[in-house]
Amino acid sequence: MRYGIAAVVLATGCLSTPPYQPQTSVSYTEAGAGGTATGHDFALRFADGDGLHFPDALMIDGADVMGHDMGQRCFDEEETGFVIQPTPRISAHGAPPLLNQLVPVLRGPAVVQVQLTWTTRLTCAGDHTPGGTSLFTVFPDGRIVRHDTLDEPNAAGLFTNGCACDSWVGGFTVATYWTLAWTPTLRLYAPDPSMVPSSADSGMEIANRGAACVDHGAYQTAFAWHDPNGTTIHGGHEVNKLLVIGRHFTVGDSMPKFGWQDSSALFVGRTGCTDALARAGEHVVPSPLTISEPGNAPRTVMPGILDGIYGSSDSGDSPPGLALTGDRVELSGPVNSSFAVWLRFPRPVAELRATRDGATGAWYLPQRVDDRGWIVWFRDRLYPGQTIAIEPF
């Protein structure tokens, strides 16, 4: 089902509402067992075929910037996914799948959300079937929030001896990661410039940073993590020159039953790394959003750790969304970047509008999830003293 945006009508000259088909939006299109989440100038492609349906391309301005090299060792990072080194990487072209289910949860126009549920089988030391979920939430401004879980249910544990798919020295290392194709024209930035190497040589590494930005010239890609402990950016593999952005931890020579989860975000920017790092900072230390309804005490909410939407996965409500008692709600911040909020009205709502003093153009984008649930994405930051009112139209 493709979730549509309700048509809105300009009621008076002082109300500003977005057009029915705004230029800035996101959509999802299936392609076999895979698909693509597409924005105005970027796209994240989920692999089709026999392999795991992890993303295998990140398109910006029509070019794929994701890192690819099938010639490297079987457990090294490539494309996007997980590693349980020294076992085969878990990606679109890595370990064989047992369970491999890709589901588009939300299809736009304000938010696309895609969930991959997977398991694989390791070929060493008994019956080991690690698995997990990866939830990708894509917004119109090029923000992609990723939440991963990883689980090994066998309590017997693993040992590096006999589990390596290639020569390996050291203990198990577990990571979730992205890769970019490194070129000499790229420049790497972090909030602390002293931590940034001048080039992606074989010894390059940035460790335990909450955010970082890669400047491609015409655009930027920034990365952020809720928990910076264990994060690394390294690159300059002698063969492939991939830039690897991930969160790693080393377990040791043996690995018992374990669980893992991680929340990260990727940002596509156009106005330089300073702005991109400011957007990434909202993922590292998000701003609170105040929700006010007539007759009720204001509520302060934070974006969900699973998807970066205010009032979604962490609201405690089922189905998702901040449960409202009436038709009108007001939002106040400040919030230091674009953002989205998930609301659940007490009655069915067919059309929705938002108003803010001085707002013009397509400054917001509503998405109907079901008869009472709506997601609204806001293009601009919310400054101190500003208020956004949302109500049925």
Full-model pTM: 0.90
Q: What is the pLDDT of residue 361?
A: 85
CA distances from 324 to 74, 238, 309, 373 (A): 50, 56, 16, 10
Q: Is residue 142 a contact partner of residue 39, using CB atoms and an 8 Å limit? A: yes
* pLDDT on residue 303: 95
Distance CA 164, CA 185 (A): 35
pLDDT of residue 99: 95
The torsion angles phi and psi of 40, rounded to 5 degrees, stand at -65, -45
Task: Average pLDDT across each block of 10 residues of the chain; the chain has 393 residues. List them in order.
Answer: 32 38 82 96 96 97 92 89 90 94 97 96 76 96 95 71 78 89 81 55 68 92 90 66 85 70 94 93 95 96 94 69 95 96 96 93 94 96 97 93
Q: Is the peptide bond before 288 cis (omega within 30 degrees of 0)?
A: no
Q: Which of 206, 200, 198 is nearest to 180 (CA)?
A: 200
Q: How many C-alpha atoms does 319 have within 13 Å on its Cβ side?
A: 13
Task: Count the neighbouring beta carbons within 10 Å of the beta carbon of residue 31.
Answer: 11
- Going by their DSSP bridges, the two strands 339-344 and 322-323 should be labelled as parallel
